[in-house]
Amino acid sequence: ADVVQNSPEGEKDIFLTRLRTMGEEARYIIHTISKILSEGAKKIALITSHPKIRHEIVRWLAGLNLFPARLQYKDGLANIIRREVKEARSIREIDEMLERRFLPGLKEALRNDLCPVEASSNIYKIARVLNEMSSVRDYMQDGLDLNTYKNIISYALEDVDDQEYINWPVDIMCLRWGDTIYGGTHVSIIPSFYQGNMPPELSSSPFFQDTSFLPANAPLFFTILFPQTETRVALAAYKLNEYILSSKDAVYLTYPALDESGSETYPSPFATIINYKELSPPAHLPIPYEPAEDRREHVAMHVKHELDRMMLDREERPEIIKDPEVKADISDRLKNATFSATSLEKYKACPYQYFMEKVLGLKPIRPKMPEVEYKDRGTIIHTALELFFKQDTQTLFAHIRGEIPFEVIEKKMTECIETAIKTHSDLIAEKDTALIEYFKARGIATCIEAIKKEKELIEEMGYPLIPKYTEWSFGMEGNQPLVLNLPHMREPANLNGKVDRIDVDETHNTFSITDYKTGETQSVIGKIEKGEHLQLPIYIEAVSKLLLNDKRPVGAFLFSLKRIEKKHGLGIEEYRKFYFPSINKKVFVEEKVWQNLIDTALRFAGEYIEKIRSLEFREDISSCKGMCDYKEACRYAKR
C-alpha cells in the first residue's frame, strides 16, 4: 500500500467503474477500447488473466483486422533490418542494433495474442535469425570480419518473404497480470479489480504461509515460494504501481458487482489509496455479438444439418431437379438471365453454392456486429475512390505537376469518405458510433495510402494513363450486355459487370483497367488457365467491344487495399516498360498469350453457362473448404 501511495502518478486520470456482471464488464471494456481508438489509435494495454474477458475482447478485436495499421513495414521488416545492417560500421554496432532495437520488439510481438498468425510466423523466423547471430559470433570469435558478418545476416534473412509485413490490427497489448509493459502505453485497462482478485486471495493451506521454519537470513527467493500475507499484497501493489506508472494518459479499473459464482464483490482495497474518479457506464452498452437467444437457434440449426448429413444417400436432393414443370420454369428463368464474371467463378468453385444463391435465392444469415461489416466497408471505400477519381483526377495531376501540396488531396479524399458514408447510411445504421468513427479514420488512411500508391505508379509512366471512367457498367442499369456465343446452344448468353476504373492514354490510344479488392489479391494467370478467374478477361473484352473499340488494352490489374499494392493481374509485355515499370514482371505476357488467356476465360464462361442452363448443380465437394457463406445450409459442408 505504501508503494502505491507514495508513487508519483503525474497528470494521468485513474477511473474506477462498477458493472453489474462479468459479461457487462467485457462489453464495457470493448466499448471503452473503441472509444479510445476513435480518438486516434493510441497504444493500449489490457491487463487481465481472466480467460472469459480475454477471450471476448481478443475475439472482437480480431474482427477489426481490415486495415494495415503499420504501413511503415510494407517494405518488409527483414528488408529494413538488412538495409540497416548493410550501413553499420562495426560488428559491435550491428550487435547493439539487433539487441536493442529489433529483438525486444519482436519478442513482444510474439507474446501478443493479437499478432496475426501469418505475421507471427514471419516474426518468429526473423527473431530466430537474430538470436542465432550471437552463437555465430561466439563460434567464429576473432575470425569474423565485418563484411562476412553482414553477408551472413543478409543471407539468413533472405528466405523471409519481404512482402509480408507486420499487420497488427491496432496498437493493443493483451497482457496477463504480472507481465511488463515494454515501452510504456498511453492507456491501461485493468479488469476484475475486486477484493479477492486484487490482491489475490491468500492460500488456505497453512504450509505456504508458515515461514517460521525458515532461517532468518533465507534468500529472497524463498519469500516468493512461501509468501507471507504482506509479501503477496506487496507484490500485487508493486505490479499495480508499475502499471500506473507505465500508463501515460489514463488507467481504467473495472470490476463486476457479482463474481463468477454469483457472490457479491467489493472493490479492491487498493482503491482506498488511489486517487481515482468514479465513472458510470453508459445507460446502453451495445452487445457486440449475437444475443444468446440467436446462439441457441444457431446450435439447433447445426444439429438439424448434422442429422441431414447422416442421410446423405437419401433420394431427395434438392439440386437434382426432376419435376418437369419446375425444370421448365427454372430453365426459362436462366435462359433470360445475365451472368456476372463473379457468379460464374462461384459456379466453378461450387455448383451447389450457386444453386442455393441464384436458383433458390437464399441469403446468408449474418450475425449482428457492432462494427461496420467487412463487405460494407468495401462498398463504402469503393464509392469513396470512385468519387475521388470522378471529381478530383485533375487535382491529383496538378499535385503530380507540383502545383499543389498533397494536403489538398488528403482533404479531398476525407470529403469523399464522408460523402460515401452518407450515401450508404443504411449500411451503418444501428452500428456503434465509436466504431463508425474508427472505421472512418481507418478508411481515410487506407484511401490516402491508395492514392499515394497510384501517384507513384502514374509518375513512373512514360506517358500517363489518365483515370477516365469509374464504375462503368455493362449488362446492367440499362446498359448493353456483352454477348457471348455458346458452342452447343443456339441462344447466346448475356454477361454483365461493373468495372471499377478505366484509365486512358488518348495520345497512344490505349487503356488499362483497375479493380479494387478490400482483401488480399492472388496471381491471376494460373487461375485463368484453370477457369477459376474470369473477371479481368471479361472486363477487358467488354471495354474493348462496348466502350473503347478504337483503343488497345495494355493491362488489367487488381489493387489490394489491404496491402496497398498493384501486384496481380494481366498485362502485355510490350507496354510494360512504358506504362508499368514497377509492377510485378510475372504478370506480363506476349500479346498472343494475352489473347489466348482472354479466349480461354470466355470459353470457360460459355461452358459454365451451358451447364447452368442444363441445370447441373451437383455438388463438387472436392474443393470445399467449408468456408462459404452458405455452409450453414449445406449438407456437404466439411465441419
Q: Which residues bind ligand SF4 (CB under 6 A)?
A: 350, 352-353, 619, 621, 624, 626, 628, 630-631, 634, 636-637
- The residue among 352 and 438 lying less far from ligand SF4, judged by its C-beta, is 352
Q: In the complex, what is the shortest distance from the CB of residue 364 to ligand SF4, in angstroms, rounded to a whole number?
A: 10
What minimum distance in Å lies between the beta carbon of 498 and ligand SF4? 25
Residue 367 has a CB neighbour count (10 Å cut-off) of: 10
Are the CB atoms for 372 and 439 separated by under 8 Å?
yes
* CA 512/CA 589 separation, integer angstroms: 15
Which triple of cell numbers denotes residue 314?
Answer: 437419401
In whole angstroms, the minimum distance from the beta carbon of 350 to ligand SF4 comes to 3
CB 540 within 8 A of CB 553: yes
Q: Is 65 exposed, middle or buried (0-12, 13-18, 19+ CB in 10 A)?
A: middle
CB closer to ligand SF4, 184 vs 367: 367
Is the CB of 253 or the CB of 612 nearer to ligand SF4? 612
Shortest distance (Å) from residue 634 CB to ligand SF4:
3
Taking a C-beta distance cutoff of 8 angstroms, is the pair 124, 159 a contact?
Answer: no
Residue linked to cell 505476357:
589
Residue with smaller CB distance to ligand SF4, 150 or 317: 317
C-alpha grid cell for residue 71? Answer: 504501413
Q: Among residues 73 and 636, whose Cβ is nearest to ligand SF4?
A: 636
| In the complex, least distance from residue 74 CB atom to ligand SF4, rounded to whole angstroms | 33
How far is residue 409's CA from residue 428's CA, in Å, rounded to a whole number? 26
By beta-carbon proximity to ligand SF4, the closer residue of 283 and 627 is 627
Q: State which H helix or E strand residue 597 sits in.
A: helix 591-613
Q: How far apart are CA 67 and CA 44, in angstroms?
A: 18
* Region of residue 509 (left: phi > 0; alpha: psi -120 to 50; beta: else): left
Q: How far is the CB of 362 from ligand SF4 (least distance, A)?
A: 10
Q: What is the C-alpha to C-alpha distance for residues 288 and 367, in angstroms, rounded to an integer?
A: 10
Q: Among residues 17 and 353, whose Cβ is nearest to ligand SF4?
A: 353
Q: Rank residues 545 and 618 by Cβ distance to ligand SF4 and give the closer one.
A: 618
Longest dimension (CA), the chain: 100
Angstrom distances, CA of residue 160 to CA of 153, 431, 523: 12, 40, 20
Cβ 302 to ligand SF4, closest distance in Å? 13
Q: Residue 409 in contact with residue 399, Cβ under 8 Å?
A: yes
In order of 240, 244, 254, 273, 274, the CA distances from 5 in angstroms are 11, 11, 20, 6, 7
Q: How far is the CB of 338 from ligand SF4 (least distance, A)?
A: 23
Cβ at position 92, least distance to ligand SF4 in Å: 57
CB closer to ligand SF4 out of 125 and 631: 631
- Give me 536's grid cell: 479481368
